[in-house]
Structure 1
Amino acid sequence: MYKFLFLLLIFISSDCLSKIDTKPVLKKPNVLFISIDDLRPELGCYGKDYIHSPNIDKLASSGIIFKNHFVQVPTCGASRFSMLTGMLPLNRNHLKNDAFENYTSTQPLTDQPETFIHHLKNNGYYTVGIGKISHSADGLVYGYEEKPSTQKELPYSWNELVFDSGKWKTGWNAFFGYANGENRQSMNRQVKPYEIGNVDDESYPDGLTAKLAIDKLNELANKDTPFFLGVGFFKPHLPFNAPKKYWDLYEEDKIAIAPYPDLPKNINQSSLHNSGEFNGYLLGEEKAKLDKPLSDSYARKIKHAYFASVSYVDAQVGKVLEKLDELGLSESTIVVIWGDHGWHLGDNRTWGKHTLFERSLKSTLIIKAPQVSSKGKTANQIVSSTDLYPTLMELCNVNMPHKTDGNSLVKIIKKPKIIQSKNVSYGYYKNGISLRTEQYRMTKYFRKSQPTIELFDLLKDPYETTNIANENPEIISSLMPILDKGNTGLYNHN
């Protein structure tokens, strides 16, 4: 009798189990994170139809474009440090390119992830870095003219860190490389800030990076675990070198010079700079100075070079995205295109980044999240690079037990017209803190030279031609408490 009941119980249990809906656990989405150096939001998808950027534009048509994305620090390494950690700068060292070298590269492993990449790795992601994701061209700690070390800028973030330096032999040589295998350092800076190369795409480093990314995608497609693939392209960083076919996309005499190439009124010139990075290419036909603009013809030449570099890197992005689609990974992969800051192309008589003006702090941000319907939409809210950390964690369904200074953008991705409570961004550099709201940019400088407060009404004055702080004390008073919220105390000590 007991034996019969036991067998009956097994039969009933088996029958019940067979009727349970055993849906497979969904794999977390992959992440393809593409960082592009010095990329202004000057692309076709941003309404600049004179720029040839068909591949990034195509991605944007299936994702969301952030029209008002701002970085926290307008220099490469510090901007990336803030973005990857999700933190605002806490001291002056966080404003420098060697922030990774001085902090993450030497820190012991703790419960606090060094970056959001590390946090993804801790949560089951296989992470691969190619090119410039942190600061150095290949993710290793060494100077421009030094031999590469084995010390990683991010020792805990990567399962694999790879780079093809090609004929240039080192990452930094490749970063400043010319088509003949020379570089800015090897030529003692006796080079022009641009090159028209009668060569193919792989004769410059970004072509090799695209090829390596494609090879890596072929490998990652066969993995059972989700992946994070970071691909860091160099162009359009100086030198503006690109194959001739990308130069040929533009007619130089039809390229417009900067809409406001003069100095802003009512500012101290120390808020800007004399374009030292640009002038460091010693064979440039003209030198940029605050007291004298470049000639219109040379300004067009340099903008032509920048545009060609943008089109060149766009083509490399297209190759990687094409492979992603070919492998059937497009619908399971989040794609982010992020520019580490903007660049003055003669705007405000400046050639370069390194200012707290709009042209330097505003950059490209495009996100395609297949699980969220946002095809071809645009968001006009003010967003920051620090927002990427919590955004990716939410999209990847990864918990965040620790705090960051950013806010997830997922609600905006789902509903681009949503009104957000925190509609401001903060920028830090040159002893200043800059607040960006929907209408204004207000910057407070911790310096002796006057004026220390700058205010621009960007709805009326989008090119920051006139500082109106003196005649608008009531606006300054209303904005100052908001700016003070972004004061982390970084200028209180050295």
Structure 2
Amino acid sequence: MKSLITAPLLLISGFLFLTLAAARPQLNVLMISVDDLRDWTNFLGGYDGEVFTPHMDALAERGISFTNAHCPSPVCNPSRTSVMTGLMPSTTGIYSNSQWLRPNHPEATTLPQFFKDRGFKVVGSGKSFHHTAGNNPPDQWHDYFRFPWADFPWTRSNKLNYPWTEWQPPPPEYPFSKVEYLRGKDERDWGILPRKESKYDDVVIVDYAIDFLESHSGDPFFLSVGTFHPHLPWYIPKRFHDLYADSEIQLPVFPENDLDNIPPIPRKWAEARRDEMQAARDAGEWEEAVRCYLASISFADAQVGRVLEALENSHFAKSTIIVLWSDHGFHLGEKGHWMKSTLWEEATRVPFIIATPGMENSGQSSSRPVNLVSIFPTLVSLLSLESNTDFDGPDLTPLLANPDAEWSHPSLIDFGYGNTAVRNEHWRYIRYNDGTEELYDHQTDPNEWKNLADHPMYQKVKDNLAEYLPESYTENVPGKNAFVFDPENWTFTNKETGRVVHGRQ
């Protein structure tokens, strides 16, 4: 297992570092995360039709957009934990949504804690860490506005995950999708929610961020804002649905023989929740589901725009680094799969933008393979700070200085113990914990329809990519059921050892 605490590591990136340090003695950080957003933005072009993302597109023009960016893991908690620690799941042993970081690694320094320890004002709102209880201890922040869950409280009956939310019965219109099979299946729903737009959860959490930008003075800040859209349920105000009401929706293509030559593990993953997709198709609502996902993207984009406008109108406009990312992608029928939780392109490719004040290369993009696990070390470098964490991701500042710079780092994506994808500019190689493999040539097969792993002529390609796989995988850390969590006092008590770990000062 890789140690989480190692000797001091100073990350320096030459020209870009010197330029920023000379011009501004201290910068702020605005980090915006968008939940479950795949590559369906204009600046990435992942959707074959028209998608309205003007604010994220404008941010891409202000900064560097990474067109070959991937998540650390195609599921919320491990991906966000990796972003917030700079460490991959194979290092932390956090592979699922049912594991907590704090009681398993109380010594790990998270991104907000790092900035708090260095004198920054550290605040946030919405979904930064995974949204269920226990993942975001308050002692990391000076202030944090928790997600209100007012949009759909009828999905929040699990008191371990949502102890602060009062359950309410669903409205008579539920399910809004009109797919009766999905009734009661947690968040699996979509449609126009009859709710005043100003009361939507994402609007309210962005209101908090705007208030902070309008009122803050003094110390440099780290502000994290996380929208829940376009995570399910895809509930949107009517005006965002109207953007796509008359559009011909481009449905994902799923060739009949697409899964014929893939190993059993990914075939099983692809089958998960296929019944839900089939129910939507049988009800004639698949197209409407995709429409509502697109509308949810545009709704999230509008909230991004509100934050960026508030920053632009503040006196921090020229002294703030902006980072925008999504925790993972999403399948809408590709490979016969619904939702995330695969190691294919649809689940791992994400929007990722970094914009720095006075950036000389603004508006450019980089096709070099990068990973969100690099956010932490990159911010450390940009701010000329020091960290004692041996980060798993490389510092990206060389690509901010030159988006076409030589780059020897592929992007690694972990999903569960022993399963990893390696993505470079040409190939996606996947090895599963039973030794089975997939290999796709993205220059000739961007849809990943032809698995080349069994062809002897590609053995050298596989061998070269396999060199980047983790040397070892940390075993799964204990899950939530190994602890007693007290949500009021923010303590985690290990049921076996009695050890108590605190999450509140």
Q: Which interval holds the TM-score relative to the shorter structure?
A: 0.7 to 0.9
Q: Does 1:197 align with 2:229?
A: no
User: Cα gap change, 1:298/1:118 in structure 2, threshold over 3 Å: closer, same or farther?
Assistant: same
The one-letter amino acid paired with 1:117 is: P
**Aligned-pair distance for 1:320?**
1.1
CA distance 1:26–1:122, change in 2 (3 Å): same
Counterpart position of 2:114: 119
Structure 1 CA distance for aligned equivalents of residues 307 and 166 of structure 2: 20
Q: Is the 8 A contact 2:62 2:363 kept in 1?
A: yes
Report what 2:239 is aligned to: 245
Equivalences for 1:291-310 in 2 at 5 Å? Answer: 294=281, 298-310=285-297
Q: Where does residue 340 of structure 1 map in the other structure?
A: 327
Shift of the 432–164 alpha-carbon distance from structure 1 to 2, 3 Å rule, reads: closer
TM-score (norm 2): 0.78
Alignment deviations for residues 361-418 of structure 1 (CA, whole Å, 9 cap, x no partner): 1111011111432211111000011111111111122122331011111111111111
Describe the shift of the 1:278–1:328 C-alpha distance in structure 2 as closer, same or farther (beyond 3 A): farther
Deviation at 1:107, TM superposition (A): 4.8
CA distance in 2, matches of 1:267, 1:37: 28
- Deviation digits for residues 337-359 of structure 1 (CA, Å, limit 9, x no counterpart): 11000001111111110001111
CA separation of 1:190 and 1:39: change in aligned 2, threshold 3 A:
closer
Cα distance in 2 for partners of 1:56, 1:114 equals 30
Moved more, 253-262 or 349-358: 253-262
Query: How far is the alpha carbon of 1:331 from its aligned partner?
Result: 1.3
Listed one character per residue, the Cα deviations across residues 93-117 of structure 1 (whole Å, up to 9, x for unaligned) are 4111133x2x325654x5xx52122
Match of 1:486 in 2: 469
Paired residue for 2:481?
none
8 Å Cα contact 1:29-1:333 kept in structure 2 = yes
Q: Residue 381 of structure 1: SS of its match in structure 2? A: coil
Q: SS where residue 285 of structure 2 aligns?
A: helix
Q: Does 1:41 align with 2:39?
A: yes
**2:305 aligned to which of 299, 307, 318:** 318
1:487 Cα offset (Å): 2.0
Note if contact 2:87-2:392 (Cα within 8 Å) is conserved in structure 1.
yes
1:492 deviation in Å?
A: 7.1
Take 1:267 and 1:372, find their aligned partners in 2: how far apart are those partners?
44
When structure 1 is superposed on structure 2, of 43-52 and 237-246 the one drifting more is: 43-52
Q: Is the 8 A contact 1:125 1:227 kept in 2?
A: yes
Q: Which residue of 1 aligns with 2:75?
A: 75
Distance in 1 separating the partners of 2:112 and 2:466: 30
For this pair of structures, how many residues does the alignment match? 438
Q: CA deviation at 1:485?
A: 3.4
Contact 2:90-2:417 within 8 A present in 1 as well: no
Say if 1:226 and 1:492 are closer, same or farther in 2 by CA, change over 3 A: closer
Structure 2's unaligned 5+ residue stretches are 1-21, 176-182, 478-505
Mapped to 2, the partners of 1:67 and 1:405 lie a distance apart of 21
Query: Structure 1 residues 386, 27: closer, same or farther in 2, change over 3 A?
Result: same
Q: Is the 8 A contact 1:44 1:53 kept in 2?
A: yes
- Identify the residue that residue 147 of structure 1 maps to in structure 2: none
State the AA in 1 paired with 2:102.
Answer: T
> 2:115 is aligned with what amino acid?
L
Partner Cα separation in structure 2 for residue 207 and residue 278 of structure 1: 32
Checking the alignment, whether the CA contact within 8 Å between 2:89 and 2:414 is kept in structure 1 is: no
SS in 1 for 2:229: coil
Q: Is the 8 A contact 1:179 1:197 kept in 2?
A: no
Q: Does structure 2 conserve the Cα–Cα contact (< 8 Å) formed by 1:86 and 1:404?
A: yes
What's the counterpart of residue 136 of structure 2? 153
2:57 matches 1:57: yes
Stretches of structure 1 that go unaligned for 5 or more consecutive residues are 1-23, 142-151, 289-293
Cα offset for 1:192? 5.6
Alignment match, 1:15: none
2:159 paired with 1:163: no
Q: Secondary structure at the match of 1:90?
A: helix
Specify which of 199, 214, 239 is matched with residue 210 of structure 2.
214
Structure 2 residue corresponding to 1:264, chosen from 244, 259, 264:
259
Q: Secondary structure at the match of 1:254?
A: coil
Cα distance, 1:434 vs structure 2 = 1.2
Alpha-carbon distance between aligned partners in 2 of 1:154 and 1:204, rounded to the nearest angstrom: 24
Task: Rate the CA distance shift 1:228–1:427 in 2: closer, same or farther, 3 A.
Answer: same
TM-score by length of 1: 0.80
SS of equivalent residue, structure 1 residue 94: coil
1:124 positional shift: 1.6
The answer to whether 1:397 aligns with 2:394 is no
Bigger Cα displacement from structure 2, 229-238 vs 247-256: 247-256
> Residues 238, 276 of structure 1: CA spacing in aligned structure 2 closer, same or farther, 3 A cutoff?
farther
Distance 1:134 1:155, change over 3 A: same
Q: Which moved more, 1:368-377 or 1:333-342?
A: 368-377
Distance in 2 (alpha carbons) for counterparts of 1:374 and 1:182: 49
CA distance in 2 between counterparts of 1:212 and 1:132 reads 13
Q: AA paired with 1:28?
A: Q
Alpha-carbon contact 1:86-1:389 (below 8 Å) kept: yes
Q: For the aligned residues, what is the CA RMSD? A: 3.3
- For 1:81, give the aligned amino acid: T
1:146 aligned partner: none
Change (3 A) 1:75 1:379: same
Query: Residues 439 and 462 of structure 2 are in contact (CA less than 8 Å); yes or no, is this contact kept in structure 1?
Result: no
Give distance in 2, aligned partners of 1:419 and 1:241: 43
Structure 1 CA distance for aligned equivalents of residues 327 and 349 of structure 2: 9
Q: Distance in 2 between matches of 1:114 and 1:429?
A: 23
Q: What's the CA shift string for 1:18-63, capped at 9, x where partnerless?
A: xxxxxx9944111110111101121112235711011111111111
2:497 match = none
Counterpart residue type for residue 480 of structure 1: D
1:71-470 mapped onto 2 (5 Å cutoff):
71-90=71-90, 93-99=93-99, 101=100, 103-105=101-103, 107-108=105-106, 110=107, 113-136=108-131, 140-141=133-134, 153-163=136-146, 165=148, 167=150, 172=162, 188-189=184-185, 193-220=189-216, 222=217, 224-251=218-245, 254-260=248-254, 262=256, 263-272=258-267, 273=269, 276=272, 286-287=278-279, 294=281, 298-429=285-416, 431-447=418-434, 452-470=436-454
Cα distance in 1 between the residues matched to 2:448 and 2:465: 21
SS of residue matched to 1:45? coil
Counterpart position of 2:499: none
How many percent of aligned residue pairs carry the same amino acid?
28
CA shift at 1:166, angstroms? 6.4
1:486 maps to amino acid: L
